[in-house]
Amino acid sequence: MQSVLITGGAGFIGQNLVHAWRAAEPSDRLVIVDAMTYAANLRSLEPLIADRSISFVKGDIKDAALMRRLFDEHKFTRVAHLAAESHVDRSIADPEAFLQTNVLGTFTLLKTALEAWLAAGTIEHSRFLHVSTDEVYGSLGPSDPAFLESSPYRPNSPYAASKAASDHLVRAYVETYGLPALITNCSNNYGSYQHPEKLIPLMIIHALEGKPLPIYGDGSNVRDWLHVSDHCAALMAVIERGRLGETYNVGGGNERNNRDVVGLICDALDRAFATDASLAPRFPSCPAASGKSCRSLISFVTDRPGHDHRYAIDATKLARELGNRCSVNFEDGLGQTINWYLDHEDWWREVTSGAYKAWIDKNYSFRIAV
Ligand code: NAD
Ligand code: DAU
């Protein structure tokens, strides 16, 4: 039985990881720490908190005293560190929070884990997993080979630079102090509970509400889409069986450009409305409710500054060493994700009320059609 700290457990990947961990290792004790920023949501965890199968602490990973108290109290033997500011556009509009949480927050957690594990004499049995991103490697040209764990770091956004800095700190703690840590660098996740600021949920929700679908630039940018369930399976394999001090890339093997992703979403919604008569009265502003294609909402807008052209992951090391391969085909996973948003209107209406509206104004009002 392990005592597990999951930071950022109320975020998109964090919530999915908590459920996956609970299902795979029901006897482990899970403690979730989350500062409950705009990106957090506890709805899916509330039943687990209520029946005490997990513990939740609202707290900031930069709070060294709180982190140390939690390590002393719960005697963690596993740390899955996901807490971060995660949205590239927000990092461009306001980078400071990214440096605070992603760099200083990670530093605080590394320092606390090392000190607590040394003091308790448990460092030999403990493992720290730092969850990072493929964005640290920069941008690929159309025919460049996919990112390897040995690819040079070339971050292009403040978000990517802050994650790169945190990766370097993890490495330094391994090399200098012998912290038993590992790093994963993964590609774009998608699936249930993703915040509607990110491409796939944003496009689904805008289409349902009959709002423009804002594709940055010409939409030729490519991402490698990884279903969040495949990502969580990889994280659990790496934290348990990965070689300490190593980095593992995790990718979906699903490279698609943004134009195609948005087109697939539109076509899937058109089909759903054509076959399910209950959708039109629920979403009357969606073009598909009156027999038009959601593609009519597509709008090409001012590009993201420093917009990385292409990410692609070579996940051979993960497969070779840990036998872990991604299994969700993109079209299937996208269909499931669209159904999830259709079935969880209450969830996204709650998330998109209030402060979210101010962000949409800030990020999209200056973008003109191109
Ligand atoms: P998210 O933004 O949905 O969730 C992040 C969570 O961290 C939120 O619940 C937030 O409240 C919490 N948090 C933020 N600052 C905090 C602080 N100072 N102290 C405690 N909690 C804090 O992000 P996500 O998409 O779930 O990503 C999780 C991790 O995976 C991040 O480290 C991100 O960089 C990484 N990652 C994400 C993706 C992706 O496609 N979503 C891809 C690669 C890597
Ligand atoms: O690659 C991993 C990264 O993937 C993670 O580290 C980040 O946390 C995560 O946010 C994601 O970053 P991206 O910038 O790739 O994701 P996003 O959903 O913001 O955008 C995906 C692509 O879609 C990107 O090329 C920008 C484009 N885009 C995005 C939005 C929000 C649009 O064209 N229009 C939009 O409105």
Q: What is the mean pLDDT of residues 28-54?
A: 95
Cβ atoms 106, 170 nearer than 8 A:
yes
Q: Is the pLDDT of residue 203 over 90?
A: yes
Q: What is the pLDDT of residues 288-326, one digit of tens each?
A: 999 999 999 999 999 999 999 999 999 999 999 999 999
Q: Is the pLDDT of residue 37 over 90?
A: yes
From residue 29, alpha-carbon distances to 12, 35, 67, 102, 324 in Å are 21, 20, 17, 25, 24
The domain segmentation of the chain, as residue ranges, is 3-193+226-256+306-329
Ligand 1 nearest atom to the CA of residue 194, by list position: 3
User: pLDDT band at 6, cuts 50/70/90?
Assistant: very high
Ligand 1 nearest atom to the CA of residue 9, by list position: 9
| pTM to 2 decimal places | 0.98
Q: What is the pLDDT of residue 355?
A: 83
Rounded to the nearest integer, the mean pLDDT of the chain is 97
User: Residue 301's CB: how many other CB atoms inside 10 A?
Assistant: 18
Q: What is the pLDDT of residue 368?
A: 86
Calpha distance 261→277 (Å, rounded): 25
Strands 181-186 and 127-133 turn out to be parallel
Q: What is the pLDDT of residue 370?
A: 85
Q: Which residues pair with 361 in a beta bridge?
A: none
Q: Of all residues in the chain, what percent carry a pLDDT higher than 90? A: 96
Calpha distance 176→308 (Å, rounded): 33
User: Which two structure tokens, joined as six digits, stand for 5?
Assistant: 């700290």
- Residues recognised as catalytic: 134-135, 159
Cβ atoms 352, 205 nearer than 8 A:
yes
Q: Which residues pair with 214 in a beta bridge?
A: 299
Q: Is 223 in the pocket of ligand 2 (CB under 6 A)?
A: yes
Ligand 2 nearest atom to the CA of residue 84, by list position: 8
Cα of 282 vs its chain's centroid, Å: 29
Q: What is the pLDDT of residues 212-264, one digit of tens each?
A: 999 999 999 999 999 999 999 999 999 999 999 999 999 999 999 999 999 99
**Of 126, 106, 249, which Cα lies nearest the Cα of 181?**
126
Q: What is the pLDDT of residue 284?
A: 98
Q: Is 132 in the pocket of ligand 2 (CB under 6 A)?
A: no
Q: What is the pLDDT of residue 358?
A: 85
Question: Which of the listed CATH numbers 3.40.50.300, 3.30.750.24, 3.40.50.720, 2.40.110.10 matches domain 3-193+226-256+306-329?
Answer: 3.40.50.720
Reported as half-sphere exposure (CB side, CA atoms, 13 A), residue 337 has a value of 31
Mutate to test the pocket of ligand 1, among 37, 94, 109 (most ligand atoms within 8 A of CB): 37
Calpha distance 2→10 (Å, rounded): 20
Q: What is the pLDDT of residues 95-113, one digit of tens each?
A: 999 999 999 999 999 999 9
User: Which two structure tokens, joined as six digits, stand for 282?
Assistant: 């629920």
Q: Is the pLDDT of residue 360 over 90?
A: no
Q: What is the mean pLDDT of residues 161-166?
A: 98
Q: Is 107 in the pocket of ligand 1 (CB under 6 A)?
A: no
